[in-house]
Structure 1
Amino acid sequence: MGYVTSLFARKMIAAAGDVIDGAALLQGAGIDPDGPWDPKVMIPAATYYDMLERLADQIDVTEMPVRTGASMQLDEYGALGLAFKAAPTLGASYARVERYARLWTSVVQYELRPEPRGTLFILHRPGERRLGMRLSNETTLVSSVSIARQVSPVPVKPLEVLIRHPAPSSVAAHEDWFGCPVRFGMGLDAILYSQETLAQPNILGDAGISRYLASHLDKELSEIADEAPLVKETKDAIAQALSEGAPKMADIARGLGLSARSFHRRLSEHGISFQTLTEETRRELAEGLLRDDGHSLAEIAFLTGFAEQSSFTRAFKRWVGITPASYRKARADG
């Protein structure tokens, strides 16, 4: 399962305003509503999509991606935001995103693709086009233009915006904000820019600073790649230990040949906590077992580390929004 920065979740809740219980939605996604807005703190992508869908149950979210994406500021992107600013042209800025987006998300890849009318900045995100993903994709496209407008000395207006999923009830807010046609139901998620727009020099473009920041980002990227096997090994170890109850971090660390302190530090550097990995592993295991009619709910509760079925039911409803029994029935009916 992939991860996204918790900053996206916080921004979406902030854009919704006081009409929803934002603290409860953030807590349901495993985010401390009173904690710092640290972009390096990651949450599972599926958890983010779940949160967006619960938000959609409470308010009209048609214009939420526009409001949220437009609120994104380059200063919130850390070193990647600085590299975007310092790149000599807007096209070079987007090349930074294409290369370094892995620092923000492991579920999206970006591509710059030349085409006869200009260049497409393409968002690749595999998976089911569920509502949460659709809202996330729209927000990402909006934010991609928002940050471009923050570095350009002239107004930035795409030639058109392409979105794979069907259009919402109204696209007026989208087209008004982008300032160009927004075409839904297309074959890809992308922004089409003219070559002239991408060749426009940035306000703070500086080749020397840009090279320095790129080397810093290369180092961060290599550290993420180095830590990926640790995450997988940790989840495997947690899954094996769950039948004996919720595992302790010290026990898992010992099994991986690490001290508890070193284990905690390495996970923290990756932007992931042991608690988050445990919750994610439990959820993934529960969903898999619920798709198999050979296990009762009581057995699944035991296999996922819960002492009582009622505790499992409460946790699963927090993760997914419905009870295990309802989830199993919905899968069977579908």
Structure 2
Amino acid sequence: MTPIEQGSVSVPAIQQYLTCAEALGTPTQDVLDRYGITREQLSDNTARLPGGVFQDILGELIRDTADPLFGLKTAQHVQPITYSIYGYMAMNSRNLGEAIERTPEYEKLVGDMGITKLIPRDGQFFARWDSNMTDPLVRRHVIENVLASWTIFARWITGKPHESGLEIRLEHAPPTRRELLPEFDRVFGCPVLFNQRETGVLLSAESMDLPLIQADQTVFSSLQETANQRLAELSGQTPVAVQVKSALRTLMKGGIPRKDTVAEKIGMTSRTMQRRLKEEAVSYQEILNELRHEMAIDLLENTDLSLEDIGHRLGFQEPRSFHRSFKLWTGETPGNFRKSTE
């Protein structure tokens, strides 16, 4: 994962936190002034802030409000624009599942706060969120903001005010003041588990199929075109190796995509892609192997897919090829690795 200090965050993403701090009686102008951020900058929804600045501002707001539920409370201020143009794409998706499935591809428009993965599990779906925040205090509040915002936004776009996940999992410990726990139950409307090895929400297949009240494929297609253009602009500021890895992750749905398909995804020819990677002192195969390694561990830990299915998804034609590569990466077989994580 990329630490937040190496990324950036869209202006709309910080507005939730500023609005909440003001609502709690904490002025925000002094904090913004210290970081040289003007109200004019905050009125530009296409502008972005350095990731480190975003994290530092949140740290100050959290300490100034002295509210242990600040992250949870910020979710009450979620709006479509909070998610940049992707918020409006989500609203116009066919159903909730489609909106969630597209999140990994477009969440960079919102910022580099973390990475979403949708993992099928026993007829259900786990939407996992891996935070890039490096400040432990900020990380806790941002995680609670993200999951609570997902919950509230999903209720709004489905028109179901009481819709909830099956379970919320949080990597951090519960609040030290036990009287605060009922607020988690109120916000999420489902069991909330703390000290978990992963963060995210468990969803039923029925929830994924829920239609959206504003679904409009014509509007969606128009928004998607604009979103793709913005992603391309952002990619121009991102190392090609990172772009290639991201494109491969999106395209690997059951095999290895062709190089020219990956190059087209990031807006360049295959020859240009290879040249740019050489300039960055990394090869296409190295990136592919690194991603296969990461995906293999993820699928072994978080799904019930057979070893053969996992190998196929990673583009290995023969099970023994997958076994050989995995042992080279980790020093143990896929089967033994899975047993050690159970």
Q: Distance in 2 between matches of 1:123 and 1:29?
A: 28
**What is the letter of the counterpart of residue 153 of structure 1?**
G
**What is the letter of the counterpart of residue 137 of structure 2?**
L
Q: Residue 42 of structure 1: CA displacement?
A: 1.8
| DSSP 3-state at the match of 1:66 | helix
Instruction: Name 1:243's counterpart in structure 2.
Output: none
Instruction: Name 2:65's counterpart in structure 1.
Output: 59
**What is the letter of the counterpart of residue 85 of structure 1?**
M
Structure 1 segment 308-323 matched on structure 2, within 5 A: none
Q: 1:19 to 1:79 in 2, by over 3 A?
A: closer
The TM-score, its normalising length taken from structure 2, stands at 0.62
Q: 1:175 to 1:145 in 2, by over 3 A?
A: same
Q: Distance in 1 between matches of 2:168 and 2:35?
A: 30
Q: Residue 153 of structure 1: CA displacement?
A: 2.8
Do structure 1's residue 162 and structure 2's residue 144 form an aligned pair?
no
Q: Residue 127 of structure 1: CA displacement?
A: 5.3
Structure 1 segment 1-334 matched on structure 2, within 5 A: 1-17=6-22, 19-33=25-39, 35-116=41-122, 118-126=124-132, 128=134, 130-154=136-160, 155-169=162-176, 170-228=180-238
CA-to-aligned-CA distance 1:125-160 (integer Å, 9 cap, x gap): 245351012211211111111211111033321111
| DSSP 3-state at the match of 1:19 | coil
Q: Distance in 2 between matches of 1:24 and 1:10?
A: 15
Contact 1:27–1:33 (CA under 8 A) maintained in structure 2: no
Q: Residue 204 of structure 1: CA displacement?
A: 1.3
**What is the letter of the counterpart of residue 195 of structure 2?**
G
Q: 1:37 to 1:120 in 2, by over 3 A?
A: farther
Q: Among all aligned residue pairs of Structure 1 and Structure 2, give the percentage whose two residues are the same amino acid.
A: 21
Q: Distance in 2 between matches of 1:6 and 1:197?
A: 30
Contact 2:95–2:208 (CA under 8 A) maintained in structure 1: yes
Q: 1:27 to 1:168 in 2, by over 3 A?
A: farther
Contact 1:110–1:121 (CA under 8 A) maintained in structure 2: yes
CA-to-aligned-CA distance 1:270-293 (integer Å, 9 cap, x gap): xxxxxxxxxxxxxxxxxxxxxxxx
CA-to-aligned-CA distance 1:256-278 (integer Å, 9 cap, x gap): xxxxxxxxxxxxxxxxxxxxxxx
Aligned length: 230
Contact 1:65–1:138 (CA under 8 A) maintained in structure 2: yes
| DSSP 3-state at the match of 2:43 | coil
The TM-score, its normalising length taken from structure 1, stands at 0.63
| DSSP 3-state at the match of 1:93 | helix
